[in-house]
Amino acid sequence: MEYITLKNSDLRVSRLCMGGCPMGGYGWGTVREDELIEAIETAIDKGLNFFDTADTYGLGRSEQTLAKAIGSRRHEVIIGSKFGVRVGDGKTAYDNSPAYIEQALDGTLRRLNTDYVDVYTIHYRDDVTPIDAVVDELTKLKQKGKIRFFGLSNIHKDGFAELLPYRGQFVNCQDEFSLACRKWEADLKNVSEEIDVTPMTWGSLGQGILTGKYDQNSSFGKDDRRSRDIYINFHGEKLKQNLKIVEVMRPIADANHVSVAAVAIRYILDYLPDSVVLVGAKRKDQIAGSLQALDWRLTAEERDRLTEVSLS
């Protein structure tokens, strides 16, 4: 296992973090709680100690499933959760108001069956609440012992300026990045450097397209979000491009005796050497495939080939 200390903290975390979106059991096809629990237990047994979820994943179900799987092993793991997305009455809205933050946190703590969250992250900015009010509230919650540190996610170019006065106070920033999506690469690098945070990548497997399990004829049921055109990795010209990337990945996976998914993850770990990679999993075999990304390196030639095909 590879570990890194999150910036501005004493949190020593595995560079592979298990993401909680599939744990919510919504929009990813068939999801069985017993298989999720087995996957989480396997991850911990293999040394993965970092788990990231959010109150909106499955409307709390993700946090509840994670708590059930961790059980008495809370002392072995680092848990991150996110706030700022309200869902109700068929509507979704962003809310960073101080009153809502503590309300959301109390619900998260209850569902996670814990007294504190290690990293509490702003899921999305609401473009209404001043950032100083958000930081002030998070600092108060830290002083109360309800959270240990706080983080950022989905911060793009137009959100940099307001954060500069708080350089050194946040520990991480999450954004989408993978061989299949480099849209926010510059933003993620810039905010990591300018705000002094550890970059974390979500969508690291391109919602699964970078596992090598899908082809031009793959289809998904209505209960799987990837059936929708908005998930472009599985549709049209983007799908064709992604399959080209996978074909470059396959011989690299074979040469290193690892899964195709492991190559996608290893690329991020090597390309962003101070990063943490978020990966989702529904089953034990999926997390095992992702864990194969650890404790080896791509050659410079392999990395260059992957960069070239992902940018073409």
Determine the 3-state secondary structure of 44 from DSSP. Answer: helix
- Distance, in Å, from the CA atom of 176 to the CA atom of 185, rounded to the nearest integer, reads 8
**pLDDT at residue 28 in the model:** 63
Confirm whether 139 is domain-assigned.
Answer: yes
Determine the Cα–Cα distance for residues 1 and 162; give it in Å rounded to an integer: 36
- Cβ neighbours of residue 258 closer than 8 Å, sequence gap 6 or more: 266, 292, 293, 296
Query: 102 in a domain, yes or no?
Result: yes
Instruction: With respect to residue 228, please indicate whether it lies within any of the assigned structural domains.
Output: no
The answer as to whether 82 is a domain residue is yes
Please name the helix (run of DSSP H) or strand (run of DSSP E) that holds residue 150, with its range, or none. Answer: strand 147-153
| CA distance linking residue 269 with residue 106, whole number of Å | 34
Determine the pLDDT at residue 25: 57
Identify the CATH number of the domain in which residue 128 sits. 3.20.20.100
- Ordered alpha helix ranges (H), the chain: 33-45, 61-70, 98-112, 131-143, 160-163, 185-194, 236-256, 260-271, 284-291, 300-311
**Could you tell me if residue 219 is inside a domain?**
no
In this prediction, residue 259 carries a pLDDT of 95
| Tokens coding 152 | 């950022």
What are the φ and ψ backbone dihedral angles of 199, each rounded to 5 degrees? -75, 140
Q: Nearest-CA neighbor of 77 among 14, 2, 34? A: 14
Measured at the alpha carbon of residue 13, what is the angle toward residues 12 and 14, in degrees to the nearest 5? 135
Residue for token pair 């009010």: 133
DSSP state of 261: H
Range of the domain at 60: 3-209+273-297
User: CB neighbours of 60 closer than 8 A, spacing ≥ 6?
Assistant: 107, 111
Asked if residue 57 belongs to a domain, the reply is: yes
Residue 61 falls within a domain, yes or no? yes
Q: How many domains does the chain have?
A: 1
Domain membership of residue 216 (yes or no) is no
Distances (CA, A) of 204 to 55, 142, 165, 201, 225: 21, 30, 30, 6, 17
User: What is the pTM assigned to this prediction?
Assistant: 0.92
pLDDT of the chain, 312 residues: tens digit per residue: 999 999 999 999 999 999 877 776 566 667 788 999 999 999 999 999 999 999 988 878 889 999 999 999 999 999 999 999 988 777 889 999 999 999 999 999 999 999 999 999 999 999 999 999 999 999 999 999 999 999 999 999 888 899 999 999 999 999 999 999 999 999 999 999 999 999 999 999 988 899 988 777 776 767 777 777 777 777 878 888 999 999 999 999 999 999 999 999 999 999 999 999 999 888 999 999 999 999 899 999 999 999 999 998
